[in-house]
Structure 1
Amino acid sequence: MLNFFRQQSGSIKNDVLSGITVALALVPEAIAFAFVAGVSPLIGLYSAFFLGLITAVVGGRPGMISGATGAMAVVVVALVATHGVEYLFPTVILCGIFQIAIGMGRLGKLIRMVPHSVMLGFVNGLAIVIGLAQLGSFKTLSDDGNLVYLTGSRLGMMLGLVALTMAIIAWLPKLTRAVPPSLAAILTITLISIAINRGVEPGQPNALATVGDMLRTNTKAKAVADARADLAMLQGDAALEIDLSQGTDATLVSAQKPSLVDETNDVKAAANKVAAAIASTDDGGSGISGGLPRLFFLDYEMVPLNWTTLKIILPFAIVLCGVGLIESLMTLTLIDEITETRGKGNRECIGQGVANVTCGLFGGMGGCAMIGQSLINVNSGGRGRLSGVTASVCLLLFVLFLAPWIEQIPMAALVGVMFMVVIGTFEWASLKMFRRMPTSDMLVMVLVAGYTVFMHDLASAVILGVIVSALVFAWQHATHMGADVKMNEFGSKIYQLHGPLFFASVQSFKDMFDVANDPDDVVIDFYYTRVYDQSGLEAINGLAEKYQTAGKRLHLTHLSEECRGLLDNAGDLVEVNVSEDPQYHIASDRLA
């Protein structure tokens, strides 16, 4: 599986170079997820720095990259919009505390419950999501402030450089392994982009969109969207028609309700704000340039530490904790399979928790493992902790000193890198396995992949897949309960059970016995079966009562230690004559 990523072995040189490659790819991702969460781009960049650095040092999976992610951003956007960014930071801290507690409780091993069919669906759905996410890089702002797809020569050049990037990554390893192919492709396409964009007049959009263009486009698009939302809220159901054709001098065209004319000044002001946002030439402030991160309470107002605040942040913290750990542990499993090594799930939970606590203290938005960047790292030869440390340190250096140069990296290069990640991530062999896989496993794989693609919720997709797989497993094993019936020399009837006794097989268990016609002495032999849950105990108890009412004796033999423990824990619930099993000896015991 994923042999594309097994091209290079680990070394200090590979770790450093792959870390630089990952840092370049992290910049637009962190900025984009910050916009999704409704916070400053610098918050996303600082989050990626802290998460990447700390998890690389103390996490349980060397070579795995963590940072600000879309899954976490989608959760916190409602919190930021409703209560303000000040509530985000204690929420991230509380999320980290929960993750540390889960790691200390050694619950990371629960990732073993994820079936392979769920893993296949997760990987394939993720590849499609990563690919679809790159389509946003093919958009630009129209004259009316809307995002539209590129056309004409700009689209042609973009596609050409994306294809060239992919060709370099695919073919360079056949010539040399001295430099990670992704890094070589980014540097090559950047030089070509600079040469093409040099002829563009100041104030005009670049022929090839760069990271800086992406930042400015997202900033302006968000400003226009926010202004339009304010205008729509003020208009309400008044059907006020506003003319925006006069730039920032919007005029009222009509109002269906004359009584609302007095309120039109507010509406006109909001309309002017829309027009101003569309006409704005703001470059997004200082871009990705910034200083060292500071403790959040030095720059933001502290929220009151009381029960009211806890009620607000607790639900978000729980969801963040679950989403972050599921995505991180799934990524860990994927990297384990690629590198043919084994990470430590509980340690990774603790590492993610420590990183999120630190991230929250320094005004970050929180995050978890980044699957796309982790695969870039592995593809570039990054296997050790040094790769994650290098990526994080380089990211901070970009913010502090190298912002103008980083903003010149073309989006075409990064899109090409991510498309190669898509090709390497998708499990193409699964398409050939459809006829060989059990129907239930195939349906689970398609369900998980489809939910991932359409709902963009990786954590929920995994949970859904595990639940469906568990139900399928229970249904299948419910039909495995059977019994061999025979009479012994003492006239007792013996039911030798086969299959597990649990909630789904209880009905099959009950249907096996003929209480009315059975002899006075009945034996149930559990040599080939086990009692797994309360439903099984209740079934045994109910059967015992039936035999007791009929004046007959019921014996249980060959109960395992686990089954006896369940019966002991049940106390008076099960009143059955548990026969003492005979002691069996092997030949060596007798000869001794």
Structure 2
Amino acid sequence: MKDMIPQFFLSMKHYTREQFIKDVVSGIIVAIIALPLSIALALASGVTPEQGLYTAIVAGFVISFLGGSKVQIAGPTAAFASIVAGIVLKNGLDGLAAATIMAGIFLVIMGIFRLGSLIRFIPYTITTGFTTGIAVTIFIGQIKDFLGLSFEKAPIETMEKLEQVILCMGTFNPMALAVGMIALIVLIIWPKYFKWVPPSLIAVILTAALVKIFHLPVHTIGDLYVISPSLPAFHIPSLSFAMMQKVLPDAVTIALLAAIESLLSCVVADGMVGSRHNSNMELIAQGVGNTCSALFGGIPATGAIARTAANVKNGGRTPVAGMVHAVLLVLILVFLMPYAALIPMPAIAAILFMVAYHMSEWREFVSIVKTSPKSDWLVLLVTFVLTVVFDLVMAICVGLVFASLLFMKRMADVAEVNGWKYLEDGEEVCDGDSVDLKPVPRHVAVFEINGPMFFGAADKISKVILEEGKRVLILRMRSVPAMDATALKSLRKLYHNLSRKNVILVLSHVNEQPMSVMEKAGFLDDVGRENIAGCIDEALIRASAL
């Protein structure tokens, strides 16, 4: 556990006054960016505005303090919005808290057992597919507020929301669209000329002023929610066995998504600052941060790539910046939160439209479809469609199964069992393990296996067919990196068939993992250890003596 040390403590060893000033400045800027985003993402998640700030404060501070990255900024993110909204509608806030706490425990366990590196086994096509899918669900979910529609019922699923948009188009509010378009124009144009002030902050201030001054008939946050400026209070949710059983799939989804998003953000941050994060410590921090967030009224949190990038660009180089960002949000919550009631809902929708656009990775999506093998873009499209039409749990599960099946087929296709070509007696013999042709005694047959031998390719072992008069079969296995139980069963079956025909099996150049599998199964004793050769020349010498 010596390597399980938070980056905060490692950074303090060589901390300077100059870096502290940079971290404070960066933390202030990141807090200004996080303020409207936290409110918008809370509303998109079906909870109150202050709960978004609770998450940024509690999870943001804890994850920075305990995290494995120097510059990671954590808080509510768009990836969780549709998931959290569904949990709240189905199981209420206690159900959300239970799922978040369980997810936090799962994340801590993943970190303790050093499972951080396993995230790399989730294909890029799946992460791109569900990320683009989440972006589409966020976009569809905000059409209602952007157009000022009044729904007949409160839909949960994305397709139900789209159906309600079409059915309720008669309630369209042109003024809401105008306010939303103003916010959207500010969000698009402002960064091109004024990079030092977050465009989302300008958008909400401008549209709130317009709606208030001209008394525009547009819904604001205050019309729909009662905003509390109070500090987050400690609360233990109802954690009955029935509730935990009910939200278990949601907890697994939150844990998996938090792990993926946070570690992806860490990788991006590493590239920006030239450092290296501790993935297992980061998972533990994410777990503790999410648990604390739920206990103080927050929602699930993870590493936020955009806020992390802003931290780096503004000089933040230690976890102090993330902790400053959380402390400043506490002050904003206490003194400025009542003014959030003035923010128009179309402006929030516009902010989330931009969030959805930036997280959609549409360029990568199109690139994969255009340039990648059919198997890759099929996984991408399946994951994308299932994320939008059904939910993220099904999308990731089906995507992983589909990708695994296609990978196994690909590996099975490249695995080969081929017979050797033979030189006539008297021709020149080449050295050790050369790929050149070698003279082989007339009573010996040599077959070479290439590629991993697993259940998808095990049947190819049965394709070994001997000519009449052969008394020894050499299987050259130097290109077999791994073998599973199914392949061993096929190899054992081949051995028994050869034994009935009085043909001796000699194995050449067996690699470490296949050798271990054969050793444990007792297959080496069946074949005879004297018939295990280190290279093809040794195998040919052994076969000549038989």
TM above 0.5, yes or no, is yes
Residue 290 of structure 2: aligned partner: 356
Provide TM-score, normalisation by structure 2.
0.75
- Other structure's SS at 1:504 match: coil
2:188 to 163, 166, 169: 166
1:88-145 residue CA offsets vs partner (Å, 9 max, x unmatched): 6555444322321111001121111122322332343333333333324325475989
Q: Tell me the secondary structure at the aligned position of residue 132 of structure 1.
A: helix
Task: Kindly report the root-mean-square deviation, in angstroms, between the aligned alpha carbons of the 2 structures.
Answer: 3.5
The alpha carbon displacement at 1:495 in A equals 0.7
Is 1:289 equivalent to 2:229 in the alignment? Answer: yes
Amino acid at match of 1:557: S
Q: Deviations over 1:30-66 (max 9, x none)?
A: 244244xxxx665554344322221122223433423
CA contact (8 A) 1:492 1:520 kept: yes
Q: Which residue of 1 aligns with 2:461?
A: 509
Q: Is the 8 A contact 1:137 1:411 kept in 2?
A: yes
Deviation at 1:17, TM superposition (A): 0.4
Distance 1:141 1:421 in 2: 21
- 2:516 match: secondary structure: helix
State the SS of the aligned residue for 1:559: coil
Please tell me whether the aligned partners of residues 19 and 387 of structure 1 are also in contact (alpha carbons under 8 angstroms): no
- Asked if the contact 1:193/1:208 (under 8 Å) is kept, the reply is no
Post-superposition offset of 1:365: 5.4
Q: Which one of 7, 10, 18 corresponds to residue 30 of structure 2?
A: 18
Q: Is the 8 A contact 2:55 2:301 kept in 1?
A: no
Q: Which residue matches 1:424?
A: 358
Distance 1:376 1:441 in 2: 30
1:196 corresponding residue in structure 2: 210
Amino acid at match of 2:76: G
Cα separation, 1, equivalents of 2:40 and 2:371: 41
Residue 575 of structure 1 and its aligned partner are, at CA, apart by 2.6
Gaps of 5+ in 1: 1-9, 174-178, 217-283, 304-308, 586-592
Secondary structure, counterpart of 2:136 in structure 1: helix
Relative contact order higher in (CA < 8 Å, ≥ 6 apart): 1
How do 1:238-249 and structure 2 match up within 5 A?
none
Q: Report the counterpart of residue 137 of structure 2 in structure 1.
A: 129
Q: Secondary structure at the match of 1:575?
A: helix
Q: Are the counterparts in 2 of residues 75 and 316 from structure 1 also a CA contact under 8 Å?
A: no
Q: Is the 8 A contact 2:41 2:76 kept in 1?
A: no
Per the alignment, residue 441 of structure 1 pairs with 376
Judge conservation of contact 1:30–1:48 (CA < 8 Å) in 2: no
The answer to whether the Cα contact below 8 Å between 2:27 and 2:323 also exists between their aligned partners in 1 is no
Q: How does 1:360-509 map to 2 (within 5 A)?
A: 360-362=294-296, 364=297, 366-369=299-302, 374-378=305-309, 381=313, 384=317, 385-425=319-359, 426-432=361-367, 434-457=369-392, 459-482=393-416, 483-486=418-421, 488-489=440-441, 491-509=443-461
Structure-2 change in CA distance of 1:49 and 1:573 (3 Å): farther
Alignment deviations for residues 484-516 of structure 1 (CA, whole Å, 9 cap, x no partner): 3245126211111112211101122212x1257
1:134/1:395 CA distance change after superposition, 3 Å: farther
Task: State the number of aligned residues.
Answer: 473
- Cα distance 1:120–1:321, how it changes in 2: closer, same or farther (>3 A)? closer
Q: Distance in 2 between matches of 1:191 and 1:70?
A: 24
Q: How does 1:96-175 map to 2 (within 5 A)?
A: 96-140=104-148, 142=150, 150-173=172-195
- Give the distance between the partners of 2:327 and 2:302, measured in 1 at CA: 17
What CA deviation, in whole Å up to 9, does each residue of 1:374-400 have, x standing for no partner? 325525746653454344334433432
Q: Give, in whole Å, the separation in 2 of the partners of 1:366 and 1:152.
A: 33
SS at match of 1:401: helix
Q: Distance in 1 between matches of 2:462 and 2:148?
A: 67
What is the CA–CA distance in structure 2 between the aligned matches of 1:412 and 1:115, rounded to whole Å? 36
Q: Give the deviation of 1:518 after TM superposition.
A: 6.4
1:66 aligns with 2:75: yes
How big is each residue's C-alpha offset from its partner over 1:430-471, in whole Å with a ceiling of 9 and x where there is no partner?
4255342211112122222222222342x5433433322221
TM-score, normalization by structure 1: 0.70
Does residue 520 (structure 1) correspond to residue 530 (structure 2)? The answer is: no
What is the alpha-carbon distance in structure 2 between the residues aligned to residue 49 and residue 505 of structure 1?
Answer: 53
| Alignment match, 2:431 | none
The CA distance in 2 between the partners of 1:91 and 1:187, in whole Å, is: 32
Q: What are the residue-to-residue correspondences of 1:207-226 with 2, within 5 Å?
A: 207-213=217-223, 216=224
